[in-house]
């Protein structure tokens, strides 16, 4: 004789209420983190690109000063959201959605909304900081007065 098995109702597959609640909470947390990144994605990208563009201009001015053995400046027009390097006819414009502030030596102030950062043949500079801001994000482009090194801080 063989064994007999008891046949009963087949267990139903599904999710418990607790499992569903856990999934909803995880999705809410993911949305809370991702939503600000997505909503400010374009301006965040523009902002970072603006900071990098400024840093590249400042680094070029420093390398030109050292290579040509003469002082060079980067003149920043805060109100016009643009900057220009000594000896370069091009004006580098920043997006209108980006606010610009400049902290520089008083001797380098050209007018109320315009100032410069000067680089010397030994690589040093007058130092300063250019801050680009959009909404609640900002990048600071710092120039060390002693070494002329350019750094970007978020």
Each residue's pLDDT, cut to its tens digit, for the chain (154 residues) gives: 556 666 666 666 777 888 888 889 898 888 887 765 655 444 678 889 999 999 999 999 999 999 999 999 999 999 999 999 988 889 999 988 889 999 998 989 888 889 999 999 999 999 999 999 988 889 999 999 999 999 999 8
Q: Report the C-alpha gap between 96 and 81 in whole angstroms.
A: 7
Sheet holding 72-77, edge to edge: 92-93, 82-85, 72-77, 114-119, 109-111
Would you say 109 and 18 are in contact if contact means Cβ atoms under 8 Å apart? Answer: no
Instruction: List the domains of the chain with CATH numbers.
Output: 45-153 (3.55.40.10)
DSSP state of 125: B
- Angle value at C-alpha 141, between 140 and 142, nearest 5 degrees: 105
């Amino acid at each position: 004789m063989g064994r007999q098995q008891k046949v009963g109702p087949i267990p139903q597959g599904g999710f418990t209420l607790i499992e569903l609640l856990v999934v909803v909470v995880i999705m809410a947390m993911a949305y809370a983190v991702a939503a600000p990144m997505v909503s400010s994605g374009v301006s965040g990208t523009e902002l970072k690109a603006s900071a990098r563009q400024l840093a590249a201009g400042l680094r070029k001015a420093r390398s030109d000063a050292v290579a040509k053995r003469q002082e060079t400046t980067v003149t920043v027009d805060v109100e016009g959201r643009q900057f220009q390097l000594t000896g370069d006819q091009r004006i580098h414009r920043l997006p209108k959605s980006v606010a610009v502030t400049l902290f520089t030596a008083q001797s380098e102030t050209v007018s109320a909304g315009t100032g410069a950062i000067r680089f010397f043949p030994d690589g040093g500079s007058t130092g300063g900081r250019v801050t680009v801001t959009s909404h609640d994000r900002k990048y600071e482009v710092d120039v060390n007065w002693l070494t002329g090194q350019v750094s970007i801080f978020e």
